[in-house]
Structure 1
């Protein structure tokens, strides 16, 4: 059986075509034929809004099967996490993987259209494995955001990747290894 992986891009002009596509290529290369990676284009990547991305994610969730893996990069990961915390999907995700997500809330970044959630532990689907990755050389989202997530999601697997930038140097081998470990 082929397992579904949904990869949600980050934000910014050209991110889908010029940046996060390289992450998807790395992920597809590292995973075998037992996985299919979906990479939908999110609306208004230049100026993302939480309501628009939430609607797009909710629509994507409708076609996912039990055990689908959810991955979000940068603000795409932050939005994905908040959507899951607000409303459990109709399927049971097999894992949540967040790559360099900015923390929205106290100590992190402000947001006028995203809900502030300080503790995700009781808001995420029960038993959902959560993995967070952050490059130690990230100059876009401060690595300190990882510590804020560690407090907000007790039990999450936290991985700091030395020498990696915001794009994790376009190398998702650790992510793929963790995905494979879930099956």
Structure 2
């Protein structure tokens, strides 16, 4: 099951939930996770073009705590395209440093909307569903 709940809520959800977020929503899913990890944890997260707030001209009010870590056992996949004209590709490097347990997927092309890259995203979603 893929959950898309209104607002920034991660509740209610069950252990079969896969959180999929793009851009601002993906950063809000991480921020909500930092505030309080839900029980049970979702099956995993697949996040696309996630802004790293507090960097460069990106507002710090949405920044994750510096000591944020992923809950043990929560698989997280972070995808970003090098030619993204909205969220700088370097934001992915910041997430790689902050979240060393996350799986990082770098795509050369696809832009902010992941044109012709959704097969890779779908593959990660499918892996979480099995």
TM range, smaller chain: 0.7 to 0.9
In the alignment, structure 2 segments of 5+ residues that lack a partner are none
Shift of 1:115: 4.8
Residue by residue over 1:22-43, the C-alpha shift from the partner in whole angstroms, topping out at 9 and shown as x without a partner, is: xxxxxxxxxxxxxxxxx45x5x
Aligned pair partner of 1:157 in 103, 121, 128: 103
- Aligned equivalent of 2:17: 68
Q: How many residues align?
A: 129
Alignment of 1:22-41 (within 5 A): 39-40=4-5
Change (3 A) 1:115 1:101: closer
* Residue pair 2:79, 2:104 contacting (<8 A) in 1 also: yes
- Over the aligned positions, Cα root-mean-square deviation in angstroms equals 2.0
Q: CA deviation at 1:108?
A: 6.7
Q: Does 1:173 align with 2:119?
A: yes
Moved over 4 A (4+): none
Q: Aligned residue for 2:43?
A: 94
For residue 127 of structure 1, what is the aligned residue in structure 2?
Answer: 73
Larger Rg: 1
- Contact preservation (8 Å) 2:27, 2:51: yes
Is 1:5 aligned to residue 2 of structure 2?
Answer: yes
Gap regions ≥5 residues in structure 1: 7-38, 43-52
SS across alignment from 1:158: strand
Tell me if structure 2 keeps the 8 A contact 1:105–1:118.
Answer: no
Secondary structure (helix, strand or coil) at the match of 2:60 reads: coil
TM-score if structure 1 supplies the norm length?
0.64
